[in-house]
A = this chain, B = another copy of it.
Amino acid sequence: MGMVGGGRGAFIGAVHRMAARLDGEIDLVAGCFSSDPAKSKASGADFFLDPARVYASYEEMAKREAALPADQRIDFVSIVTRNNTHFAVAKAFLEAGIHVVCDKPLCFTLKEGRKLRDIVQKTGLVFALTHNYTGYPMVKEAREWVRTGKLGRILKIVVEYPQGYAITALDQKGDGAISNWRMDPSVSGASNCMGDIGTHAHNLARYITGLEIEEICAELSTFIPGRPLDDDGNCLIRFAGGARGILFASQISNGDENNLNIRVYGTKGSLEWHQEDPNELVFKRADAPPVTSRRGNNYLSAAAQGATRTPFAHPEGFIEAFANVYRSAATAIADAVAGRKAPKDGYDFPTVDDGIAGLAFIESAVKSSQAGAKWVKFPKL
């Protein structure tokens, strides 16, 4: 694979590389790691790449890689740049005939996202979006529970994503600075907190339950003075089919680390999952004791078992979940490259459509909040 973005010091680029590498099926062989050509070269050297395939711009990279013989050029590109460039970079590679794995959110705006969807559809290429939290085996198990009716009809969803790191910006210390570009509307988009992590929460709920939002009432707040974008948001949600929901995301939840979690309540039972304790999934119902399913066991669904690398209680974590997105996307790409048909049940990785839903969530939340936290209809995707 090749990579755009993710040079020295970039957190998420390093995660993408570890995730891609884990299973021994993907090698990084080319890249444009920075808009600064010198930095790009230096990063390429860090990764032991052939200097000839470390490019000064993504346009050059797309063009020159596409011109290589099929058995030499990259099979796909991984895009880990800032939000406002996803569209242009993805477009360049797709139009050069190269498959794409792209970090979330999909694009800068919903409008842009729809254009990208058109391009993906037109080219017929694989486009995977790294909503990595759905890569956890027990999240896949949760989805199976909903699909197979174990929960009955879904009545209520509570999904949370509290973090606290931004609070350190109050006294200018710690990791609050991490979020700087995320706080710039010209780079990050209409929202910081909803775009960065709220969209993960939304995607998680949508992946597990399959339910689309019908209406949303959102109140976004900026608690850190001087910031142009939100650092906290609380939403009430009406889902299609009558389920009610609460979604909140926050970067000022002092002392929380990366506490994404979800509870889904159904007529026959409920489930609960916490990203910080990802190897467990709890099933609860009113007339029986709670049952805690654990990753790696034979009693789990094929979906959960297939997304696992180590035996039970040899804990898996964030990188392994991320690697599951890569592995599924790589399978799809390998099939495409080899001209194989997709399996009957399809592949299990987030697509451009999931990205569209995510952008719709972000924009609807912002719209509702700007109207004073009034209910707004969710757009047609």
Contacts and interface: CB of A to CB of B under 8 A. Distances in A.
B236 A313 contact: no
Contacts of A267: 167, 170, 254
A59 interface: no
Interface stretch (A108-116, A120-128, A315-323): A315-323
A315 B278 contact: yes
Interface string A69-82: 00000000000000
B313 A316 contact: no
B252 A236 contact: no
Nearest to A22: B18
Interface in A326-351: none
Interface string A211-225: 000000101010100
Interface residues of A, number: 88
Interface stretch (A89-97, A189-197, A283-291, A359-367): A283-291
Copies of this subunit: 4
Contacts of A256: 270, 284
Contact of A22 (B22, B173, B255, B292): B22
B11 A311 contact: yes
The 4 closest A-B pairs by CB, nearest first: A255-B284, A257-B313, A258-B313, A315-B317
A276 B155 contact: no
A373 interface: yes
Contact of A252 (B155, B278, B293, B375): B155
Interface string A253-293: 11111110001011111100001111100011111111111
Contacts of A24: 17-18, 21, 28, 47-48
25 contacts: A11-B311, A17-B24, A18-B309, A21-B24, A22-B319, A24-B48, A156-B232, A167-B267, A170-B267, A221-B244, A234-B245, A252-B265, A253-B263, A253-B270, A258-B311, A258-B312, A259-B313, A287-B298, A289-B291, A290-B291, A290-B292, A310-B317, A317-B317, A319-B320, A374-B374
A174 interface: yes
Interface string A47-86: 1100000000000000000000000000000000000000
Contacts of A17: 24
Nearest to A246: B234
A372 interface: yes
A188 interface: no
Nearest to A47: B24
A184 to B, nearest CB: 21
B21 A164 contact: no
Contacts of A11: 311
A39 interface: no
